[in-house]
A and B are shown apart, each in its own frame.
Chain A
Amino acid sequence: MVIAIGFEGSANKLGIGIIKDGEVLSNCRTTYITPPGAGFLPKETALHHRENVLAVLKDAINESKIDVKDIDVVCYTKGPGMGAPLATVAVVARTVAQLWNKPLLGVNHCIGHIEMGRIITGAKNPTILYVSGGNTQVIAFCRKRYRIVGETIDIAVGNCLDRFARILKLSNAPSPGYNIEQLAKKGKKCVTLPYCVKGMDVSFSGILTYMEERAATLLKEGYTEEDLCFSLQEHVFAMLVETSERALAHCNSTEMMIVGGVGCNERLQEMMEIMCQERGATLFATDERYCIDNGLMIAHAGAEMYKSGIRMKWEDCTILQRYRTDAVEATWRKD
């Protein structure tokens, strides 16, 4: 039996979760929300994490009803992410590990998403679409590693959505993507936008530029904000579903899983579901508790690493802003 605590703060979400052999004991989170039209910057985000981390930690411990003595391993996000927020949270994880005299493990954020998705949904060996504010990857497990089969060659899909929300000055609460999704539900007309798929890779910067340059004109020409949100979603999600389908076919896989913050978009899930039905595959998706960055996923992935015998020296418990999904050997997977 392994009880693990996980600290996550690679972007604007600060999360701490405790897990006991796959059983969720607590999963607490707070989000740094910026005013409409503005994004989150490293310095201010780190400040937010610093101001809130102890309160979230207390909540997570209280909610879990465990004694900190019983924790086996302290896990934190090693990367990828923004430097300052990562470092802030890593310092706290390092401190409590020493206070409580527990081993410390740095976890790859992307692996956290994947392993959390697998345990929540029960998918065995899925092809994975990982979509968030900073990452867009199509991933398949092969030769002991999560291989990136396709990915964005410029900005992440979530970044494209967030920045489009800024053009329209939409609220960043609870998240820009959520507000785009709600508006898109009322959209009726679809504007033709650039559609950019290269093999299994995708590109979103062209669509964003197109929108930046033309949104104002389109609004004057009779398209509504709802129409623009709808058009954007239809285009970028179609690109993601298309590359996912190609990866499914390439890897002869029958399971598809969506993880990451954009993964809780219901229209994306719906499109993916239709694609899966058409080819006899099964879709696995999770809701916002596990899709959006959280501490629990770090705890769970860390626990898996810990059980498989991985230990880290203090001097290796650093942070990495760039840390690829395929840089980690999945020692805990037996297939």
Chain B
Amino acid sequence: MNERKLMSGNEATAEGAIAVGCRYFFGYPITPQNKIPEYMSEHLPEVGGVYVQAESEVAAINMVYGAASTGAYVMTTSSSPGISLMQEGLSYMIGSELPGVVVNMVRGGPGLGNIGPAQSDYWLATRGAGHGDGRCLTFAPFSVQELYDWTGRSFTIAQTYRNPVMILADAVLANMIEPCRMHERREHPKQPPDWAVGGVREGRPRHIINSLYVDLPEEEQVNLRIARRYEQAATEEVHFAEYGHEEPQILVCAYGISARICQTAVQRATEAGVPTRLVRPISLFPFPTDIIAQWADRVAKILVVELSMGQFVEDVRLAVEGRCPVELMSRTGGMMMMPEEVTDRIVQMAQSD
């Protein structure tokens, strides 16, 4: 199936999950991601899947928790306030070492906010998953095609690391329509993983899925095991892309929809005489620290562009470790910068260098 089809980001996300065998969806409506549950409710029954509209986000994530403990390919999707409500459940999933896929189509916030594009859940996604010593592996696609591809890939990654994976996107990526190439839909894996619950079979010990460890040293061992998986992910699942000049004066760092805007801005700045390059993290946790550190030694300045008042910029600064100045360009509250404004800022930075 190499033909291209126009799809919205929401539809591509939903189809990307079904196409790799996801057969269980639990969610609760919230704009701007409602097209995902709508698509799932229509298409999961076609493939023998289960769609449940839960009574709340808290219920939805706990249904995901239950399905995940049987080894099922399961997902939920929501938007910022809904993801806040899911934090406790996600923490329990991490503590119970369970895979699952959660998509956050971020909206303007804080509070109920609005349905405009935002990237203000960066901390929530990369630090969070509620309380305790765990995190979500987090990926940030930046096109309809990548929403399809990365949502699909997330199920395998979640199973490999026995940890929830979060896909972080926004209202523009959710609603925009672009051509998408899809593969044939695959079946749900027949064989459950060897840790899954599902009725005691002859000869195997009972499986218990739980995050309660009253024995302190045992909890420490569990947390060390989880931490080792993150270290492993940092060697296997660091993803980024680069665009623009080979010997840049200015490096731009942006992810998701901001990176789309910067792709155009960087090209125009280079054409305007300021050699500029874009490094775009695709994996946000694990973070592509090394590539940013390498460029930091070779450029005059770094510009971070994000739709929040400064969250992603902290990871960039941790990678740069003071090697060069890092400036921040923000829009917030559902507003978005235009490529022309980013180009102007790059040129201005080069001139004041």
Tell whether A and B belong to one assembly. no
Chain A residues in the interface with B (C-beta under 8 A): none
Chain B residues in the interface with A (C-beta under 8 A): none
